[in-house]
Amino acid sequence: MHLAAPASVLFSTTNARVLAVLAGTDRGISGRQVAQLAAMSHGTVWRSLRRFVEHGLVIEEEAGGRTLLYRLNRDHIAADAVIALSRLRVTLIERIRHSIQQWDVPPTHAWLFGSMARGEGDTGSDVDILLIRPSGIGDEGSTWNDQIEELSEAVQRWSGNVASIADIREEEIPRLREERPVVVDDLLDDAITLAGASAMSVFGGRT
């Protein structure tokens, strides 16, 4: 799955980004605003908007002068599918969170971070997850390791992306707070909490 434009599983990346922007608002916005939010050139976005207007999926409205505003036609029979596609990233995060919360041996904390958490990346990007292993959980042949393997396989089935899952013992948290390795800064920048407390609560703010 293209992590920055999940709907590109069925649409071109350009169309997927444009539809994601329009699905995220109920108000009309200009073509330049769509281009800015989609992080694409105005000309490229304009061609995409014209195509959707022709199909009736996007409504074009005059806003005075030469300004045109665009909004998703939520009454269109394809609108529900577009909205569902635009939420694929959120749906994947919800599935991962639900899966972890069903574990027989739950993590003390769990976070999604990296490109997936930022809404960036593409089909070659990993889904980065950090788990805090509870005290007393061994390294080999445990239910804990089986759970991690099952989650890794599930994430790839759900999205096509490889899951990069790391786990750290709960006892290591004080050392990480003090040493502040790069992964801690990454967590503080963009982590999404999957279980337990937020990364900010566990590691504190940036020093």
Contacts of residue 49, defined as CB under 8 A and 6 or more positions apart, other chains included, come to 18, 31, 34, 58, 60, 70
Residue 158: its pLDDT value, please? 94
> What is d(CA 76, CA 65) in angstroms, rounded to the nearest whole number?
28
Residue 168: its pLDDT value, please? 92
CB 113 within 8 A of CB 128: yes
Q: Give 204's pLDDT tier (boundaries 50, 70, 90).
A: confident
CATH of 6-86, one of 2.40.50.140, 3.90.870.10, 1.10.10.10, 3.50.50.60: 1.10.10.10
91-203 architecture in CATH? 2-Layer Sandwich (3.30)
CB 128 within 8 A of CB 145: no
> What is d(CA 2, CA 23) in angstroms, rounded to the nearest whole number?
17
Residue 10: its pLDDT value, please? 63
Residue 162: its pLDDT value, please? 94
Domain with CATH 1.10.10.10 in the chain: 6-86
Condensed to tens digits (0 to 9), the pLDDT of residues 95-148 reads 999 999 999 999 999 999 998 898 887 778 899 999 999 988 876 658 899 999
DSSP 103-153: -SS--SEEEEETHHHHT---TT--EEEEEEEPTT--SSS-HHHHHHHHHHH
Condensed to tens digits (0 to 9), the pLDDT of residues 75-90 reads 999 999 888 888 888 8
Domain with CATH 3.30.460.10 in the chain: 91-203
Q: What stretches of 24-76 show up as alpha helix (H) in DSSP?
A: 31-38, 42-54
